[in-house]
């Protein structure tokens, strides 16, 4: 898991992501109005938020597997980077086009961009095995 300094450098953002994404998944899936100004009213809206919850939990599972099982690590690193940068840049676009969101989403934007760029750095870091592939 995290036995060496290089293991920590390569995998820490996966564990941080899991610690953030799992609780957010359950909030989105069961009570988005408890933390965000989101009030789903129709069954289709509730279904969409449960689907988002499932997507978040699925990715979190892959990131956990990547932390413990070497054969899943590359997939975990790539999907985490894409997931975080995709969310982060989507929020940047919304910020530019729609205006400033609530603090939770603004904080999320910065956290997602930091985690995404950290993942990109890990994948291209010259001393890692991933940069050699």
Positive/negative CA dihedral, 91, 118, 19, 44: positive
Q: How many CA atoms lie within 13 A of 56 on its CB side?
A: 21
Domain count, the chain: 1
Q: Give the range of the structural domain holding residue 106, as residue numbers without chain letter.
A: 5-132
Tell me which of 3 and 90 has the higher pLDDT: 90
Whether 132 has a pLDDT exceeding 60, the answer reads no
Write out the two tokens for 103. 């603090």
What confidence tens digit (pLDDT) does each residue in 74-117 have? 999 999 999 999 999 999 999 999 999 988 889 999 999 999 99
pTM confidence score: 0.89
């Amino acid at each position: 898991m995290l036995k060496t300094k290089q293991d920590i450098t390569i995998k820490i953002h996966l564990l941080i992501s899991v610690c953030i994404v799992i609780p957010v998944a359950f909030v989105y899936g069961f009570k988005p109005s408890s933390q965000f100004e989101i009030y789903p009213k129709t069954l289709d809206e509730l279904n969409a938020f449960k689907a988002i919850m499932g997507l978040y939990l699925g990715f979190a599972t892959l990131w956990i597997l990547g932390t413990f099982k070497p054969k899943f690590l590359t997939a975990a690193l790539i999907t985490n980077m894409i997931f975080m940068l995709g969310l982060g840049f989507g929020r940047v676009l919304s910020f530019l086009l729609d205006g400033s969101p609530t603090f939770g989403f603004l904080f999320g934007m910065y956290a997602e961009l930091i985690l995404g760029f950290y993942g990109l750095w890990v994948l291209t870091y010259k001393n890692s095995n991933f940069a050699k592939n």
